[in-house]
Amino acid sequence: MSPRRFAKLVALYLGLLVVLFTHAGNPDESQSTSKVHFEYQQF
Amino acid sequence: MSLPSSDVRLIIGGHIAAAFTALVILWAALALLSRLNLAPPSAGQYIADPGNGVEATQAMIRLGSALSDGRTVVLLGSSELMQTKTGFMPYRYLPKELGIPVLAIGRGYFQSLAIYGYLSANDRYLSNSTRLVILVSPGWFKEDSIPLNFFLTYFPAPVLARLLDKDAVTDLMRDYVTARWSLMEKSSETLSFFGPQTNSGAPRQRLWAWVPSVTRRLREQLIGLREQAFTLRTEFDMLLQTEVSNSHSTIAAFNTETGPVAPDWDALRRLAQERELAAMAHNPMYVRDDYYTRYLKDRGRTEYFPAGMDPKGEMQMLETLLRYLQSRHVHALIVMEPLNPYTFSDASRARALGNEVAALCASTAMPYYDMTQSDYIPGTLSDAMHVGELGWVLIDEKIERYYQ
């Protein structure tokens, strides 16, 4: 494989990874919850 | 016409090498960019808790930026930071009047474990130029540890994602989460990494026992990378002033008309005490009148600390936090807050806690301001345990003198 073709392939994969990480890569937004709720007491 | 098998191998090999090279380039670029400080500077901000999703990522970006810019004072504490009627609150007073930017984070139960987690999550931004103030309350030592729902509020997935590769804090948090796993109603994917660990199973499966641990490591890496990439995107959004959420809004802006002036601390102390005493003129307990009517009128003076209180757990966690800061060359100003002796008959017990914290600070070379040791001056607190106008002026003065 020629260096030019290899560079093109790297660019292609880089583009794919950037798209994957910046668009599909949203954070885990599922909220963890507890069965027991505890309020802060002022006193 | 079909390709010879050696050509097919060469093409596949070329694709694999190209994909791997792209991955390495992306990883290196992320590692480099994440060290840059892209978040816009701000004057006075307060974040009670991080929220979740984008909000939590923004909160971490703001914290990382403030810890690394060498200018912003990061103020970490608990419920005292929530007071709205206090003009001398550091995140209001210091930016506006003295031109010192302040980022404050915390509300009830934001104490040693949470602070340790937040600073570890921003480990790369800590240095000897970090300006950090930690407000310690005697109330921290009343219970063994923080309630689970507060832990979950302070550690949403975007914060936890930054801790997955920090073994020391991860182990501590895993102990905490595992001990309370039966109280969990729902766990996020990221939190599950801090939950109970499964064993390798029956003997005949041991041959493949490494598979789950490798898969787990890969999943951890992927979550970390995903959060890093999302952080970069969010930083650019923040730079372009297109924030998705405005809940972490700026509280105080710099006073551009007069600019910072040298403060007359004696006069400010007098003014602050006058203000605070005026708000507590109609009760004998030196608390604000609305607080007295709501909580104390029918209750009177009581004891604060429970009979079997054991401060050891929280004290050990505080020591872990201070030793960690010492290892990162951070000289944090530690402030120990008092209790109101007109409200609590055992307020003087806070002095013993203050002495223990003093010993920890001495052994970790942290500057320490202990408000429990001197005779209580009415107006220092606005109620039974939360800092009032006079107390904030005393703290503002310490911060200004220490960091100017």
What's the pLDDT band for B382 if we cut at 50, 70, 90? very high
Nearest C-alpha in A relative to B340: A43
SS (H, E, C) B164-186: CCCHHHHHHHHHHHHHCHHHEEE
Substitution target in B9, B15, B287, B298 with the highest count of A β-carbons within 10 Å is B15
Closest partner residue to B21 (CB to CB) among A10, A22, A36 is: A10
What is the pLDDT of chain B when averaged over all its residues?
Answer: 89
Crossing angle, helix A3-19 and helix B5-33, to 10 degrees? Answer: 50
Q: Quick check: B14 and A6 CB within 8 A?
A: yes
| Helices and strands (H and E) in chain B: how many | 14, 8
The count of C-alpha atoms lying within 13 angstroms of the C-alpha of B2, restricted to the half-sphere facing its C-beta, is 4
Cβ pair B183:A28 closer than 8 A: no
Instruction: Mark yes or no for CB contact B157/A25 under 8 Å.
Output: no
Cβ separation of B226 and A21 shorter than 8 Å? yes
| CA B298 from centre of chain | 36
Contacts of B299 in chain A (CB under 8 A): 43
Residues B118/B76, Cβ–Cβ less than 8 Å: yes
Mean local confidence (pLDDT), B188-194 = 92
Percent of chain B surpassing pLDDT 90: 69
* Predicted confidence (pLDDT) at residue B125 exceeds the cutoff of 70: yes
- Give the one of A9, A34, A43 whose C-beta lies nearest to B152's C-beta: A34
pLDDT given at position B16 = 93
List the single residue in A1, A5, A17 with the smallest CB-CB distance to B22.
Answer: A17
Residue B116 and residue B175 in contact, taking contact as beta carbons nearer than 8 Å: no
- B70 Rama sector, left if φ>0, alpha if ψ -120 to 50, beta otherwise: left
Say if the Cβ atoms of B186 and A42 lie within 8 Å: no
- Average pLDDT score over residue span B151-171: 94
Alpha-helix residue ranges (DSSP H) falling in B85-166: 90-98, 112-121, 148-154, 157-161
Of A9, A21, A34, the CB nearest to B18: A9
Tell me the helix, strand and coil percentages in chain A, rounded to 5. Answer: 50, 5, 45
Please answer yes or no on whether B147 and A13 come within 8 Å at the CB atom. Answer: no
Contacts with B161 from chain A: Cβ below 8 Å: 27-28
Residue B251 and residue B262: Cα distance in Å, rounded?
A: 22
Query: Residues 182 to 221 of B: which have CB under 8 A from any A CB?
Result: 183-191
Coil, strand, or helix at residue B29?
helix
Query: Length of chain B, please?
Result: 404
Distance of residue A8 Cα from the nearest chain B Cα, in angstroms: 9
Q: Which residue of B has its CA nearest to A14?
A: B22
**Measured between alpha carbons, how far is B64 from B41 in angstroms, rounded to an integer?**
11
**Are B22 and A43 inside 8 Å of each other by CB?**
no
Q: Tell whether A4 is within 8 A of chain B (Cβ).
A: no
Instruction: Give chain A positions within 8 Å (CB) of B14.
Output: 1, 5-6, 9
Q: Chain A: residue nearest B182 by CA?
A: A35
Is the pLDDT score of B48 beyond 60?
yes
Determine, for residues B148 and A43 on separate chains, whether the beta-carbon distance falls below 8 Å.
no
Closest residue in chain B to residue A24, using alpha carbons only: B226
- Taking residues B141-166, report their average pLDDT: 94
Least reliable range by pLDDT among B35-44, B267-276, B291-300: B35-44
List, for residues B240-295, the tens digit of each pLDDT value.
Answer: 654 444 445 566 776 666 666 788 999 999 999 999 999 999 999 999 999 999 99
Check residues B254 and B82 and name the one with the higher pLDDT.
Answer: B82
Question: Which chain A residues are closer than 8 Å to B162 by Cβ?
Answer: none
- Position B202 pLDDT exceeds 70: no
Residue type, B116: Y
Q: Which residues contact B359 (CB under 8 A, 6 or more apart)?
A: none
| A19 touches B at CB < 8 Å | no
Q: Which residue spans within B160-246 are E strands per DSSP?
A: 184-186
Q: pLDDT tens across B53-70, in order?
A: 889 999 999 999 999 999
Q: What's the mean pLDDT in B79-91? A: 94
Q: Closest Cα to residue B118, out of B321, B326, B327, B329?
A: B321
Question: Higher-confidence residue: B213 or B357?
Answer: B357
Q: Which long-range contacts (CB under 8 A, 24 or more apart) does B167-174 make?
A: B168/B120, B168/B324, B169/B116, B169/B117, B169/B120, B170/B194, B172/B113, B172/B116, B172/B317, B172/B320, B173/B113, B173/B117
Which residue(s) pair with B340 in the sheet? none
| Cα(B296)–Cα(B43) distance, integer angstroms | 37
Q: What is the pLDDT of residues A1-43, one digit of tens each?
A: 788 999 999 999 999 988 876 665 567 778 899 999 988 877 7
Distance, in angstroms, between B384 CA and closest chain A CA?
Answer: 8
Kindly give, in sequence order, each residue whose CB lies less than 8 Å from that of residue B6, ignoring residues fewer than 6 positions away.
none
